[in-house]
Amino acid sequence: MKPKEIVKQYSIKSLVACFSGGKDSLVMTDYLHSELEGMNVKIYVVFADTGVMLPIAKEFAEDVAREFGWNLTIVEGNFFDRVKDWGMPSFGRRWCCYECKIKPINEFIKKLAPQRCEAVGLRRDESFKRSKIKNEIYYLKKGWVWKYAPILDWTEQDVFHYIHEHDLPMPPHYRLGLRETCMCGVYSNKKQMLILRANFPELWQKILDAEANLKKKGAAFYFQNKPVYAKDLDKQTLLQDKIEGMEGKKQ
């Protein structure tokens, strides 16, 4: 269903676009603003700073919202505080998604005028799991909110076409080779974490410190169901280290 149909059929007064700083949520958010222009519905844009987000993702969200006049709210997560009690998250223990992202967003939405709707940038062709999503909109009784995925049937090509057609800025983390804006490690791998280490040393140091202070002395990450220690990745030589070493020898 088109956004206008959703708003009319479900009498939506408050619509929240969840903008993570990635290309899909960027397109979804712009698409909603374009489709609902002039309608009697209040559009909010929410960026959840989980506590382990890429700094450039937050900056990008703020810059885009300012450029396009979006009503942006940043809600805060508490990733590293929770790690002290619960340990690092893994694919089988994804406590971070609810605690650091969903929960703060829900708390924001509950304060808005009903009927409320939360829009997300999910697409069926992203993964096998998401390909099984049946409905683009459903009601969540626990949060008293409609959940809506306006670009659920779009392909990645559709997303890139929309970005080009509407002259939207491409999120900067893709240029670095990073796929995600939240670096909790659940959907990551060694290569992604080495890119993080090379480009965002302050955030990487927080991950190192969190691992060192784990009560059970476990690993920061679990890739392919195997523990991967941040302290071991920290010892690996990066390409930039090699270049600097070669330049030092020449001098």
pLDDT in tens, 112-136: 999 999 999 999 998 888 888 989 9
What's the pTM? 0.91
Q: At a CB cut-off of 8 Å and minimum separation 6, what does 90 contact?
A: 185, 186, 221, 222
Q: Is residue 86 part of a domain?
A: yes
Tell me what the mean pLDDT of segment 204-217 comes to.
95
Q: Are residues 97 and 39 in the same domain?
A: yes
* Residue 248 counted as domain residue: no
Structural domain includes residue 80: yes
Q: Does pLDDT of 86 surpass 70?
A: yes
Residue 249, pLDDT score: 47
pLDDT band at 216 (very low <50, low <70, confident <90, very high): confident
- Domain count across the chain: 2
In a domain, 247, yes or no: no
Residues 60, 82, single domain; the answer is yes
- Return the pLDDT at 143: 80
pLDDT, average across residues 130-148: 91
d(CA 248, CA 54): 31
Alpha-helical runs (H) found in the chain:
3-9, 23-35, 55-68, 79-86, 95-97, 103-109, 128-131, 156-165, 190-199, 201-212, 230-233, 239-250
Instruction: Please write the tens of the pLDDT for every residue from 17-31.
Output: 999 999 999 999 999
> Does residue 158 fall inside a structural domain?
yes
Same domain, 64 and 182: no
Based on the fold, state whether residues 146 and 211 are members of the same structural domain: no
Judge if 216 and 159 occupy the same domain: no
The whole-number average pLDDT for the span 70-85 is: 96
Give the pLDDT score at 243.
36
Average pLDDT score over residue span 71-80 = 97
pLDDT at 199 > cutoff 70: yes
pLDDT of residue 239: 54
Residue 170 · residue 153 · CB < 8 Å? no
Residues 129 and 147 in one domain: yes
Range of the domain at 56: 3-172
How does residue 246 score in pLDDT terms, banded at 50, 70 and 90? very low
Q: Are residues 148 and 56 in the same domain?
A: yes
Do 142 and 36 share a domain, yes or no?
yes
Q: For residue 115, say if its preceding peptide bond is cis, omega within 30 degrees of 0.
A: yes
Contact at 8 Å (CB) between 14 and 36? no
pLDDT above 70 for 190: yes
pLDDT at 196: 97
Please check whether residues 44 and 89 belong to one and the same domain.
Answer: yes
Q: How far apart are the C-alpha atoms of 94 and 196, rounded to whole Å?
A: 20
The yes-or-no verdict on residue 245 having pLDDT over 80 is: no
Helix (H/G/I), strand (E/B), else coil: 235? coil
- What is the chain's mean pLDDT, rounded? 93
Check residue 225 and give its pLDDT. 86
